[in-house]
Structure formats: C-alpha cells, structure tokens
Amino acid sequence: DATITTQGTGDLILNTNNGTNSGDITIADAANGDIIITPNGTGIAKAVDAADATGAIKIAGLETIFVPAQAMFGTTTNGADAQAIETTATRPEMKVLDFDASTNEYSQFSIAMPKSWNEGTLTFQAFWAPSNTDTGNALIGLQGVSVVNDATSDVVFGTAIYVTDAGGGAVEDVMVSPVSTAITVASAAADTYTYFQVVRNAADGSDTFTGDARLLGIKLFFTTDAANDA
C-alpha cells in the first residue's frame, strides 16, 4: 500500500512501504476530473525517472520554433535575394536573405505545425543583420495561412503583422527584434500544412533603414494545449 507522509519542514513523500515494494503508484480520479499538482510560490513541479534524473514536468503553454534563412526562399515575384556573407575566413558565415531598402520584397517557408498547437494566434521575432552602418528602422512582417488535407495551396495569407527594429550601426551585427503583436494564421486548424511569408515593408515611410535588411531567421512563438503531439 502507498502512504503519504510529511518529512522535515513539510515535504510530502508518497512511499510504497518505505521503498520495499516495486509496484507502481497510481493516482486516479474516477470521475474523469483533472489531477492538479500545484507547487507553492516559485516552486517547480518535477519528476524523477528510473535513472534518478530529476526534471521539470512539461506543461502545455508557450513554445518556440526557429526557422533559419537557409530554410526559406525568395518568392518568384519580388523575392528577397539569398546571400552568403563571409565574415572572416573559417569564422561564422552568414546565410541570409537580403530585403531591399526601397521595394517590398518577400520570402516564404512552410511548417507542418505541431498537433499540440492550439490553432491560436502566433507572435514572432526577426533575427537579421544590417548591410551598412545606418541606424534607421526596418519594418519586418510575417503572415500565415494553413491548408488542410486535399485542399488547394492557392489561398490568401492572413494579415501581415510588423515589428520595427533599428540597425545597430555596424555591418555583420546580429539584431534581434522585439516580439511582435499577435498574428492570426488564416484557416488555422489541426493537422494542416502552414505557409508563412516574410516581408520587409520598405515602401512604408516608417522604414528608414537605408541598406538591405539581411534576414537570418524567424523565431515563432505558439501556444500548445496538449501534453504531446499524439
């Protein structure tokens, strides 16, 4: 039988005959209700595996996916240019997509979003590098649309949401934009193929960065509502 005891200053220990039993411990609710584990204050709910490794219990919530520029392509119409920027020989080389300073240009990537995604809104950060020493603002946007099984890909993207980020004043610096406001992915649903489009809104008067904005990648933030993708 399992017993629950307190130890020291109030720890609770679920014990199977002081460790002499090898059976499982099952916590069940016959009414199909939730079982809630709530640590006090800033405590973390943790579990220990068979190798005595302790880790936090995964909780559905905010997750991220990073998509590098190498996984994107410039669109056929007004596409951003793929470039390889060598910093110094045998040091990190930057694989980027160059977005023009005067014309709106685009790139795209696609993801089969995790099944645990709640199909709600997303946010993003743009990782980019200046092509010159200007410190003006670049407007980088993202929009998305999901396509279900056996449906056409000839669909309209949702509304683009933009972040504004200033050039750092040095070529080859890595710039990380603020997190965007919420993006609504058009036709969002479970088990879909989701297209994303990146655009620099160079035609907007608020975009004052005078050089190419060299996109390094996009970090997506999405919310899960399930423990796994089963």
Q: What is the pLDDT of residues 151-210, one digit of tens each?
A: 999 999 999 999 999 999 999 999 999 999 999 999 999 889 999 999 999 999 999 999
Please, which residues bridge with residue 199 across strands?
Answer: 106, 141
| Percent of the chain at pLDDT exceeding 70 | 86
For residues 95 and 74, give the distance between their C-alpha atoms in angstroms, rounded to a whole number.
13
Neighbour count for residue 211 (Cβ, 10 Å): 19
> For residue 35, what pLDDT band results from cuts at 50, 70 and 90?
confident
Q: Compute the residue count for the chain.
A: 230
| Statement: residue 58 has pLDDT above 90 | no
Evaluate whether 198 touches 218 at the Cβ level (below 8 Å). yes
Q: Which two tokens stand for residue 19?
A: 């460790």
Which pTM value belongs to this model?
0.85
> For residue 25, what pLDDT band results from cuts at 50, 70 and 90?
low
- pLDDT tens digits, 92-114: 999 999 999 999 999 999 999 99
Using DSSP's 3-state secondary structure scheme, residue 230 falls into coil
For residues 141 and 156, give the distance between their C-alpha atoms in angstroms, rounded to a whole number.
16
